[in-house]
Amino acid sequence: MSDIAQDREADRKAALALLFDRSAPTYERVGVEHFNDLGRRLVDHAKVTTGQRVLDAGCGTGAVLVPAARAVGPEGEVIGVDLSGGMVARAQEEAARQGLLHQVRAVVGDAETVALADVPTAPGSFDTVLAGICLFFFPRPGAAAARYRELLKPGGRFGVSWWGRPDPLWDPVYAASAPYGRGPSSHTLPATSPFRSADALHAMLDEAGFDEAETAEEDCVTHFAHAEQWWRWVWSTAGRQFWESVPDDERDKAVAAVNAELDTLKAPDGSLTMTSKVRFTLAKRS
Ligand SMILES: C[S@@+](CC[C@H](N)C(=O)[O-])C[C@H]1O[C@@H](n2cnc3c(N)ncnc32)[C@H](O)[C@@H]1O
Distance (angstroms) between ligand 1 centre and the Cα of 272 equals 26
DSSP 271: -
Beta-carbon contacts of residue 108 (< 8 Å; ≥ 6 apart): 81, 82, 83, 84, 85, 88
Contact 73, 50 (CB under 8 A): yes
Kindly report, residue by residue over 65-86, the tens digit of the pLDDT: 999 999 999 999 999 999 999 9
Structural domain spans, the chain: 3-166+189-221+277-284
The atom number, within ligand 1, closest to the CA of 56 reads 6
- pLDDT the model gives residue 139: 94
Question: How far apart are the CA of 134 and the centre of ligand 1, in A?
Answer: 5
- Which of 82, 112, 116 is the best mutation target for the ligand 1 pocket, counting ligand atoms within 8 Å of the beta carbon and taking the most? 82
The CATH number assigned to the domain with range 3-166+189-221+277-284 reads: 3.40.50.150
Q: Which residues pair with 151 in a beta bridge?
A: none
DSSP string, 132-177: ES-GGGSS-HHHHHHHHHHHEEEEEEEEEEEE----GGGHHHHHHH
Residue among 20, 120, 118 nearest 61 (CA): 20
**Per-residue confidence (pLDDT) for residue 190, from 0 to 100:** 80
Please report, rounded to a whole number, the percentage of residues in the chain having pLDDT higher than 90. Answer: 93
| Mean of all residue pLDDT scores within the chain | 96
What are the phi and psi torsion angles at 112 (to 5°)? -75, -35
pLDDT of residue 279: 98
Q: pLDDT by residue (tens digit) across 177-203?
A: 999 998 765 556 788 899 999 999 999
Q: SS3 for 130?
A: strand
User: 126 in ligand 1 pocket by Cβ < 6 Å?
Assistant: no
> What pLDDT score was predicted for residue 188?
67
Confidence band, pLDDT 50/70/90 cuts, at residue 5:
confident
pLDDT digits (tens, 9 = 90+) for 141-173: 999 999 999 999 999 999 999 999 999 999 999
- pLDDT value at residue 184: 65
Phi, psi of 79 (to 5 degrees): -105, 120
60 alpha carbon – ligand 1 mean position (Å): 5
What single letter denotes the amino acid at residue 68? A
Q: Do the bridges between strand 126-132 and strand 53-57 make them parallel or antiparallel, or are there none, so unpaired?
A: parallel
266-275: per-residue pLDDT in tens? 999 999 999 9
